[in-house]
Amino acid sequence: MYDYLVVGAGLYGAVFAHEAKAAGKSVLVIDKRPNIAGNVFTEKIEGINVHKYGAHIFHTNNAKVWNYINRFATFNRFTNSPVANYKGELYSMPFNMYTFNKMWGVVTPEEAA
For the chain, 113 residues long, give each residue's pLDDT as a single digit of tens: 999 999 999 999 999 999 999 999 999 999 999 988 889 898 999 999 899 898 888 889 999 999 999 998 888 888 888 888 988 988 888 888 988 898 899 999 999 98
- Where do the domains of the chain lie? 4-69, 83-112
Tell me the whole-structure pTM to 2 decimals. 0.66
> Per residue, what are the HEC states of the chain?
CCCEEEECCCHHHHHHHHHHHHCCCCEEEECCCCCCCHHHCEEEECCEEEECCCCCCCCCCCHHHHHHHCCCCCCCCCCCCCEEEECCEEEECCCCHHHHHHHHCCCCHHHHC
